[in-house]
Amino acid sequence: MTWIPFLVDGLLLGSTIALGAVGLTLTYSILGFANFTHGDLITWGAYFVLSLLLASTAATGSGLGQLGALSFGWPFLAALVVAMLLTGALGLLLDRVLFRPLRQHGTQIVLVIASFGASLALRYGLAFLYGPEPAYYTRDIQLAGPIVPGLPAVRATPNQLFVLGLTAVLVVGLHLLLTRTTLGRAMRAVSENPTLARVVGVDPQAVVRWTWLLGGALAAVGGAFVGLTVQVRPWLGFDLLLPLFAAAILGGVGSVYGAVLGGLLLGLAEALAVPLVGAEYRAAVAFAVLLAVLVVRPRGLLGVRE
């Protein structure tokens, strides 16, 4: 039963990757390019939460608050919601000043190259503003407790369970949005055939704006998760980029459930690889998975043939 902790670890890590990959797969398929700034949007979300918490602590003297067994309360949740809006707005701003003008003249590849530049500016902008040192939402140490009766080896902290739960809620919510609402259908339509979408009356600019907003908001939640369970650094999102791309492509670009599946599988693969290759090569697992998918089945597990 020694593998059980790795399994739990893998699922927890996988849920963070899954959430990031859901946002990435959405923007990848609708905006139509591999957006290297997605990782940095995650980081900005984490730092927005940090800044809001610092500000509220300074203003009210109260910290994260407390909700049941969780190490945080309403102040944190409020900061998370505001950070989602701010990160979405940051995505909109990027689109307005950089990607939209380029979209009118350039191809997908020009957008990817532009995202290198934006990614550098965003990431190192944070390093300039906050310094390279890691920061923490809270210094409290949470103990992992057993969560399944009869299986004492299955342990997780309340915060980790919250992360799992919220990921599930967001994924289901996103699925409902995509299948049950006019906006969601329009997003899927633009992702499949932008020209035909215009023909049937979908305003592509509006869909692109909503996609940035949603992608940014989801990225912010991912960043807040990392901040809550690990620490906040200017590189946290960029370091996630390779696993996120691997998960999105493994699941099939454009497929929300595929991204979740890809994220969880990748988290498990990384965790289970630790006893085999050592923790230091954990990050290379994403690359191995990515390469295998691209060679064997480029459309991914749940993807659609182009």
Partner 1 sequence: MSDLPSEGLALEARDLVAGYEPGLPIVRGASVAARPGEVVAVLGPNGSGKSTLVKAIVGLVPVAAGTVRLFGREITGLPAHRFVREGLAYVPQAENVFARLTVRENLELAAAVLPGPRRHERIEAQYRLFPDVGRLRALPAGRLSGGQRQMLAVARALVVEPRVLILDEPSAGLAPRLAAVVFDTLRTVRALGVTVVLVEQNARAALALADRAMVLVEGRDRVTGPAAGFLDVAEVARLYLGGLGARAR
Partner 2 sequence: MIADVGAYLVFFLVVALYYALLCLGLNLQWGVTGLFNVGVAGFVAVGAYASALLTGPDSPEHWGGLGLPVAVGWAGAAGVAGLCALLVGAVTLRLREDYLAIATFGIAVTIQLVALNFTRLTNGPFGIVQIPRPFAGWSETPVGRNALYLGLVVLVVATTYVGLERLVRSPWGRVLRGIREDEVVAAALGKSPARYRLEAFVLGAMVMGIAGAIYAHFVGFVAPEDFLPILTFQVWTMLVVGGSGSNRGALAGGVLVWGLWSASGALVAALLPPAMQARGAPLQVVLIGIVLALVLLYRPRGLFGEEAVVSRHVRT
Q: Which does 178 bind (CB under 5 to 8 A by kind): partner 1, partner 2, none?
A: none
Closer residue to partner 2, CB minimum distance, 154 or 265 = 265
> What, of partner 1, partner 2, none, does residue 186 touch, CB below 5 to 8 Å by kind?
partner 1
Choose the stretch contacting partner 1; rule: CB under 8 A; options: 10-18, 42-50, 191-199, 218-226.
Answer: 191-199
Is 202 a binding residue for partner 1 by CB under 8 A? The answer is yes
Helix, strand or coil, per DSSP, at residue 145: strand
Question: Of 81 and 283, which has the nearer Cβ to partner 2?
Answer: 283
Query: What is the Cα–Cα distance from 95 to 8, expressed in whole angstroms?
Result: 38
Nearer Cβ to partner 2 (114/189): 114
Task: Give the DSSP H/E element, type plus range, for residue 133.
Answer: none
Q: Does 199 bind partner 1 (CB under 8 A)?
A: yes
Binding test (CB under 8 A) with partner 2, winner from 143, 150, 280, 305: 280
Q: Out of 100, 188, 282, 299, which residue is the one contacting partner 1 (CB under 8 A)?
A: 188
- 203 touches partner 1 by CB under 8 A: yes
Among 101, 134, 145, 165, binds partner 2 (CB under 8 A): 101
Q: Considering the complex, state which of residue 178 and residue 274 has its C-beta at the smaller distance from partner 1.
A: 178
- Cα(182)–Cα(273) distance, rounded to whole angstroms? 42
CA distances from 65 to 60, 75, 141, 163, 233 (A): 11, 6, 15, 17, 23
When asked if residue 206 is in the footprint of partner 2 (CB under 8 A), the reply is no
Q: How far apart are CA 262 and CA 140, in angstroms?
A: 32
β-bridge partners, 155: 146
Structure tokens of 6?
A: 């790795």
By C-beta, is 108 or 205 nearer to partner 2?
Answer: 108
3-state DSSP call for residue 135? strand
Asked if residue 38 lies in contact with residue 20, where contact means CB atoms within 8 angstroms, the answer is: yes
d(C-alpha 298, C-alpha 287), whole Å: 14
Note the residues at the interface with partner 1 (CB under 8 A): 179, 182, 185-186, 188-189, 192-193, 195-204, 304
